[in-house]
Amino acid sequence: MSRYIVTNPTTGAEGPQFATATDSQLTAAVAAAHSAHTGWSRTGTVAQRAALIQRVAELHRERREALAEIIVREMGKPMEQALGEVDFSADIYSYYATNGESFLADEQIDIDGDGSAFIRRSSLGVLLGIMPWNFPYYQVARFAGPNLVLGNTILLKHASQCPESSAAMEQMFVDAGFPTGAYQNIYASSDQIATLIADPRVVGVSLTGSERAGAAVAEVAGRNLKKVVLELGGSDPLILLSTDDLDATVDAAVSGRNDNNGQACNAAKRFIVLESLYEDFLERFAAKMTVEAPADPFLPGTALGPLSSLGAAENLDEQLNRAIAQGATVVARGERNGTYFPAAVLRDVTPEMDAHHEEFFGPVAIVYSAKDEAAAVALANDTPFGLGSYLFSTDPDQIMRVADQIEAGMVFVNGVGLDSPELPFGGVKRSGFGRELGRFGIEEFVNRKLIRILK
C-alpha cells in the first residue's frame, strides 16, 4: 500500500501523513469525474475551459514561492530550479489556454462528390493520470492542461512522496473555478489503481514512471481496452562530433547531466565523444562535474541538492559500485553522505556490463570514445531506451544526417534545456509511446469524429 507522507531528503524529517483513500471514496471520485464530463464538456465551450486553465496558470505565478518550497521539501530540488519548474508549468497551462481553440477547430476534408466532410475533435471522458516525484508540477501540467481544455476530466494519482504538492495543485483547480469532479487528486494504492483502470467510466491512462510501472499499467489497460500514454525511462546520449567552443560544450554537458540533481528521464546520461576530442573533453568534463558539491537545496546558488530519498541514494550507490566491480574506470567520484550524492564520471564501460544498458537516475555520467560518426551513432542507439538525445556538431549536413539515424523521440542540437510548451515530448522503444506538449499533447485522448454531410 502507498504511504503518502513527505520525508524531507535534506533533513530526513517526516511531515504529516495523508490518508490513503478508501474504496468508497474512490468510487465517489470516479462518479464525480464522470458526472462532470457529462456536464461541462458538452455544455461548455473550449473558450470557457481555456479561460479556467489560464486562471490555473495565473495561480501558479501568484503562489510560486510557496509552491516551490513544497517540492524542495518533498524531493530535494534546488530552490532556483523549483521556481523554474513552477514558472514552466504556468507557461504550459497558458500555452493550451491560448491555443486550445485553434487546435480543436473543425478540420475540413476535401472530398469527391457532393456535400462536405469535416473532423470535429471532442473529449472522451474520465482520464487517470499517474505521475512521478521528480517534476511534481510540470508532469501534471503537460497532462492536465491540454486534456481539461479539451473537456476530459482528470483523476490524478501522484507519487506517494508528493502528497503536499498534489493537494496544492488540486486547490488551484478548485480556486480557478473548475466544476466539482473536473480535477481530483486521489491518494490511492497500487491495487486501487488497477481497479480504477478497469472501471468502464475511465477511458484512458497516462503514466510517467518506471518501465515496471508502465508495463503493469499497460497490462491492466490492455485487458480492459483502454488507451495509454507512457513516458518511461531514458538513457539519453549526448553525441559530440565537433565544436568551436569545447568549454561551452562541456558546460552544456554538465548542465544536461546534473539538472534536477541528475534525476530527469531525458537527462544526458551517456556521453559519446569523437576520438580526437575524447581525452580533452573527459578531463574538462570530469573537473566541472565534480566542482559543485551537493548542498542544502534552500541555500541560494545551490546547483546540486540531495537525491529524492535515502533509498534512491542507496540504489544509485549500489549501481555505481556494481559498474566499477564489472570493470568501469572511475574518472571522478566523491563520497556519498546519506542522500547527498556527489557527481561521478565513468569510462571504459563496455556492452557486457550492466551499466551499458541501465539508466542511472542521479549525477553519474558515462563517457565513451567513438572512432567516427558511424561508431557514435551505433553507440547512441545501443540502448533499450529511446527518449531524447543531444547532438553537438558544427557541420549542418552532418547534423541532419546523424539526427535522422538516432533512435529517439527527440533530438536536441547544440544545446540542452531546450524544452518548451510547443515542442512535443515523448519517446520510442522502452521509453514508452505517445506524446505530450505541443499540438500532439491535445491529440492523445480525443475523439476525431468524422461528420459527412450529403447535400
CA torsion, ordered 259, 232, 435, 85, to nearest 10 deg = -30
User: Using CA atoms, how far apart are residues 158 and 136, in angstroms rounded to an integer?
Assistant: 8
How many Cα neighbours within 13 Å face the side chain of 122? 15
Of the residues 231, 359, 436, 444, which is catalytic? 231
Q: In what order do the strands lie in the sheet with 390-392?
A: 329-333, 344-347, 364-370, 268-274, 236-240, 390-392, 412-413
Kind plus residue range of the DSSP H or E element containing 80:
helix 79-103
Q: Report whether 143 contacts 129 (CB < 8 A).
A: yes
Counting Cβ atoms within 10 Å, is residue 315 exposed (0-12), middle (13-18) or buried (19+)?
middle
Q: Is 231 a catalytic residue?
A: yes
User: Using CA atoms, how far apart are residues 38 and 419, in angstroms rounded to an integer?
Assistant: 35
Q: Is 358 a catalytic residue?
A: no
Dihedral sign (CA 214, 216, 220, 223): positive
Terminus-to-terminus CA distance in the chain, angstroms? 59
Of the residues 74, 162, 170, 265, which is catalytic? 265
Amino acid at 312: A
Q: Report whether 86 contacts 145 (CB < 8 A).
A: no
Which residues are identified as catalytic?
231, 265
